């Protein structure tokens, strides 16, 4: 999500999302986002999924499940093509509100991803509390993968844990071919980042293209 301000230009989410959460406006933004994402994704080639970030503030309202179900019904998008993401920090702060709602989504067939994994203080306890479908490795680890051995070690441990729990993994913030190669060899399920595509409008996505690093084309 980007705010296209008439005089200040593009304002990134890190600047306005905290303010939207503080004022409560995130519930309106979130509802619009869920409906827009599902409507757009319904026109994408099958079986491509859409991943939607949720704020902890949205879980404190009583109508989040109704909003998602309404968006699915109006768009015709099957729940199996939706993945909802909640950050580890938000889950830690609002576990009481979040977990029952996440279970409802799970029962509907919607996949649940734990975002920014490794940045909170009780990661393993969260994995025990809820059977997530995916763990997302925070970009702070990805972007220091080739610079700091401890980041590489944390990623390796996360991947081992995910495989043991039969969870998929996504590495965020992939920006260089070196990061791509190391993560692929390490066994990350999927990757995202500016190396593949900068943020853009849904209409500008080219689903016919694929990204392959020449050096590992034969092994990919």
Q: What digits encode the pLDDT tens for the residues 50-62?
A: 999 999 899 988 8
Helix (H) or strand (E) holding 50: strand 50-54
Instruction: Give yes or no for a contact between 177 and 214, defined as CB atoms under 8 angstroms apart.
Output: no
Compute the Cα dihedral for 100, 106, 112, 114 and give only its sign.
positive
Strand partners, 134: 113, 168
Question: Closest by alpha carbon to 29, among 60, 53, 49, 5?
Answer: 53
Query: Which regions of the chain carry the CATH code 3.20.20.450?
Result: 1-132
Q: Does the domain made of 1-132 have the CATH classification 3.20.20.450? A: yes
Query: Of the candidates 108, 24, 91, which has an alpha carbon nearest to the alpha carbon of residue 61?
Result: 24
Q: What residues have CB less than 8 Å from 114, skipping those under 6 apart?
A: 85, 86, 87, 88, 91, 126, 127, 132, 134, 135, 136
Rounded to 10°, the helix 26-41/13-23 angle is: 120
Share of the chain above pLDDT 70, in %: 93
CA distance 132 to 75: 25
Give pTM, 2 decimals: 0.89
Phi then psi for residue 52, to 5 deg, are -125, 125
Q: What is the pLDDT of residues 151-187, one digit of tens each?
A: 899 899 999 999 999 999 999 999 999 999 999 999 9
The first and second tokens of residue 163, run together, are 């495989």
Q: Over the stretch 63-111, which tens digit does the pLDDT of each residue have?
A: 999 999 999 999 999 999 999 999 888 888 888 888 899 999 999 999 9
């Amino acid at each position: 999500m980007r705010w296209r301000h008439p005089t200040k230009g593009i304002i990134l989410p890190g600047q306005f999302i905290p303010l939207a959460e503080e004022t409560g406006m995130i519930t309106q933004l979130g509802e619009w986002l869920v409906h827009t994402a599902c409507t757009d994704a319904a026109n994408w080639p099958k079986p491509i999924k859409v991943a939607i970030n949720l704020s902890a503030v949205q879980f404190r309202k009583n109508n989040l499940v109704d909003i998602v179900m309404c968006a699915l019904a109006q768009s015709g998008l099957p729940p199996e093509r939706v993945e909802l993401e909640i950050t580890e920090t938000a889950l830690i702060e609002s576990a009481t509100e979040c977990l029952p709602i996440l279970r409802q989504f799970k029962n509907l067939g919607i996949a649940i991803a734990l975002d920014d994994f490794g940045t909170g203080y009780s990661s393993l306890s969260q994995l025990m509390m809820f059977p997530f479908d995916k763990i997302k490795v925070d970009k702070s680890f990805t972007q220091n993968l080739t610079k700091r051995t401890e980041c590489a070690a944390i990623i390796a441990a996360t991947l081992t844990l995910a495989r043991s729990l039969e969870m998929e993994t996504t590495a965020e913030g992939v920006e260089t071919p070196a990061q791509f190669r190391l993560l692929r060899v390490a066994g990350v399920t999927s990757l995202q980042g500016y190396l593949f595509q900068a943020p853009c409008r849904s209409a500008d996505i080219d689903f016919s293209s694929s990204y392959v690093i020449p050096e590992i084309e034969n092994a990919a």
